[in-house]
Amino acid sequence: MTVQSHAAPQASTTLPCHDPATLQSLGEGAIHDHAEVVRRVEHGRRLQPAWAKTSFAERRKVLRSLLDIILERHDQICEVAARDSGKTLTDAALGEVFPVCEKIRYLLEHGEKDLQPERRASGFLKHKMAQVEYHPLGVVGVIAPWNFPFHNLFCPVLPALFAGNAVVAKVSEHTTWSADALLEVFHEALRRHGHDPDLVQVVTGYGATGEALVRSGVDKVFFTGSPPTGSKVMRAASDSLTPVVLELGGKDPMIVCDDADLDHAVEQAMLGVFTACGQMCVGAERIYVFDEVYDDFVARAVARVDALRQGAPLEQPEGEAVDVGAMTMPAQLDKLEALIQDAVDKGAHLLVGGHRREELGGQFFAPTVLVNVDHSMRITQEEQFGPIMVILRVQDEEDAIRLAADCPYGLGSSVFSRDVKRAERIASRVRAGMTVVNDYGLAYMIQALPFGGVGKSGFGRINGREGLRACCYTKAVVTDRVTLGGGVSVYPIVAGTYPLVRSAIGMIYGRGLGAKARAALQAARSVAEVAKARKAFRQRGKH
């Protein structure tokens, strides 16, 4: 996800907040300095041990109450998210509330099982029992972006809390206004069950506040943002060897084969391009359409995009709605204009949109269709994060797979074909953290699946068993299955010690019964030799 931080005003202790759809001031938010961030992390560390001792049953009660509160306050949450980010209420319901509720459902049903000790084979040590345990880290730091203010706060915090951690989260300066109202949802659920609400805390400010959180002594950082900022997070975290999970956005390809259901493919492309005004890490930013159906796909897409309604989502007359809202971050409009201009200068054609909507009074960019695009253009390589449908013509499967790989990002992807086996074959060759066949974006809604990418899209995973266990440290434990007494005795090293070890290795790993038998015979001789040598050693010690 694209995250750009503006420098804080000199000597300022507050940051301005505004509605991106109307430019109306929403007041000011606090700028927390390094000392305050550290204070909150230390406060969370004092609270965390008591929370870590709670049972999974108790944690499920808190999450069940949290889900109840979200459902009770659904409209308020959507309105707050829409006001702060500029998205429509439908986008807020689909992209903010829906995945959070599904994550809670997953944790309620599967979280305890995912964190139970896991038995492992003990190899040749049959008398021992081996297992892996998952223990809470302590205090987890979360740095959340601006595009989904509710979702981006809740989805990383939920598994961290369920795993037994305290959390301190830094929200974007562009969506600071909503932080207190959304945080209160967490606090209310914790209070209902007698737990300290400060198990989840939020800090606000510019880039310096985020850096302070990384350097504050947290036990792990989950960062969602741009590759340049992710590099800064890694550099800061490296000083204290703080582990990080980086989700750094995507440039997702959508491949539409010549036998695809075009109506369905176009509808899914609309969803992948214009949800949240295109401000999604898994947005469908490169649509590769086979030559045979290219013109038909473009015609259908243009007709639908041209009919989209745009405006301030919360300012419409009762009974009316808009399809596309505003851009959350003002600087993103400049980037979209630059990417389109570069493409047009190199031969791309604008069929719809391609410009700001200044007449609407806010931070609006018109829904856009850009065709005749090729890979010499920046818009195929750089994350656009805006409402631009970029359509490219390809000749066949090999052409589509080659071009899909010609990009430094590798987060999500999708393939459309009526022949599911064909789609799966193509999907298996797309280098990405996720691929969905004949739909857009559903991998995220299946919370049992890990979410994350390869290449410039970052590393580590959220969601699923992998994401939940990422909120823990992994501990290997070996204990007795059968108590034999004693153990491996090596010292003092005497004549026969090395041959004994050598023969033991041969007994275990030799190929065939003959080799193992010869090693066993040598081991028996070496045991006798070692016993004799140690007896002599002990007798010398008495003198």
- For residue 27, is it within any domain? no
- For residue 374, is it within any domain? yes
Same domain for 422 and 300 = yes
> What whole-number distance in Å separates Cα of residue 59 and Cα of residue 57?
5
Q: What angle do CA 68, 72, 77 make, to 5 degrees?
A: 110
Same domain for 269 and 356 = yes
> What whole-number distance in Å separates Cα of residue 529 and Cα of residue 45?
56
- Positive or negative: CA dihedral 258, 259, 260, 266: positive
Q: What angle do CA 484, 488, 492 make, to 5 degrees?
A: 135
Q: Which range is least confidently modeled, 333-337, 350-354, 530-534?
A: 530-534
Whether the pLDDT of residue 2 is over 50: the answer is: no
Query: For all residues of the chain together, what is the average pLDDT?
Result: 95
- For residue 150, is it within any domain? yes
510 or 10: whose pLDDT is higher? 510
pLDDT score at 445: 94
Same domain for 471 and 521 = no
pLDDT band at 484 (very low <50, low <70, confident <90, very high): confident
CATH code for position 412: 3.40.309.10
DSSP type of residue 491: P
Whether the pLDDT of residue 543 is over 70: the answer is: no
Number of domains in the chain: 3
Same domain for 256 and 223 = no
3-state secondary structure of 85: helix
Nearest residue to 447 via CA among 433, 465, 472, 471: 465
DSSP type of residue 451: B
Same domain for 296 and 441 = yes
Check: CB of residue 453 under 8 Å from CB of residue 447.
no
Amino acid (one-letter) located at 368:
T
H or E element that contains 473: strand 472-480
DSSP type of residue 275: G
Query: pTM for the whole thing?
Result: 0.93
> What whole-number distance in Å separates Cα of residue 228 and Cα of residue 455?
13
H helix intervals, 394-496: 397-405, 420-429, 442-445, 464-469
Whether the pLDDT of residue 315 is over 70: the answer is: yes
Whether the pLDDT of residue 356 is over 50: the answer is: yes
pLDDT score at 10: 46
- For residue 14, is it within any domain? no
Cα radius of gyration rounded to whole Å, the chain: 29
Amino acid (one-letter) located at 47:
L
Axis-axis angle for helices 98-106, 151-162 (nearest 10):
10
Domain encompassing residue 531: 488-542
pLDDT score at 508: 94
Annotated catalytic residues are: 247, 281
Structure tokens at 381: 């390589």
The pLDDT tens digits for 115-136 are 999 999 999 999 999 999 999 9
Whether the pLDDT of residue 534 is over 90: the answer is: no
Q: Percent of the chain, pLDDT > 90?
A: 92
Structure tokens at 281: 């890490």
pLDDT score at 486: 66
Mean pLDDT computed over 457-475: 97
CATH code for position 55: 3.40.605.10
The pLDDT tens digits for 84-98 are 999 999 999 999 999
Same domain for 238 and 274 = no
Whether the pLDDT of residue 364 is over 60: the answer is: yes
The pLDDT tens digits for 241-254 are 999 999 999 999 99
> What whole-number distance in Å separates Cα of residue 367 and Cα of residue 329?
16
> What whole-number distance in Å separates Cα of residue 502 and Cα of residue 380?
59
487 or 297: whose pLDDT is higher? 297
Same domain for 124 and 186 = yes
The pLDDT tens digits for 258-299 are 999 999 999 999 999 999 999 999 999 999 999 999 999 999
Structure tokens at 391: 């359509």
Same domain for 470 and 400 = no
pLDDT score at 4: 38
Structure tokens at 252: 């997702």
Residue-wise DSSP of 100-116: HHHHHHHIIIIIHHHHS
- For residue 460, is it within any domain? no
Same domain for 190 and 232 = yes
Long-range Cβ contacts of 232-238 (<8 Å, 24+ apart): 232/207, 233/143, 236/211
Phi-psi region of 214 (alpha: psi -120 to 50; beta: other; left: phi over 0): alpha
Residues in the chain: 543
Whether the pLDDT of residue 163 is over 60: the answer is: yes
Q: How many CB atoms lie within 10 A of CB 442?
A: 15
- For residue 170, is it within any domain? yes
Residue carrying the six token digits 């796909």: 297
Structure tokens at 283: 């947005």
Whether the pLDDT of residue 535 is over 90: the answer is: no
> What whole-number distance in Å separates Cα of residue 222 and Cα of residue 140?
8
The pLDDT tens digits for 443-453 are 999 999 999 99
Q: Percent of the chain, pLDDT > 70?
A: 97
The HSE-up count of residue 99 (CA atoms within 13 Å, CB side) is 27
Cis peptide before 156 (omega within 30 of 0): no
Mean pLDDT computed over 14-39: 97
The pLDDT tens digits for 34-57 are 999 999 999 999 999 999 999 999
Enumerate residues 6+ apart whose C-beta is below 8 A from 366. Answer: 310, 352, 353, 354, 355, 356, 357, 387
Mean pLDDT computed over 298-321: 96
Same domain for 333 and 270 = yes
Same domain for 256 and 363 = yes
pLDDT band at 64 (very low <50, low <70, confident <90, very high): very high
pLDDT score at 3: 37
Same domain for 74 and 159 = yes
The pLDDT tens digits for 415-445 are 999 999 999 999 999 999 999 999 999 999 9
> What whole-number distance in Å separates Cα of residue 92 and Cα of residue 85?
9
pLDDT score at 487: 67
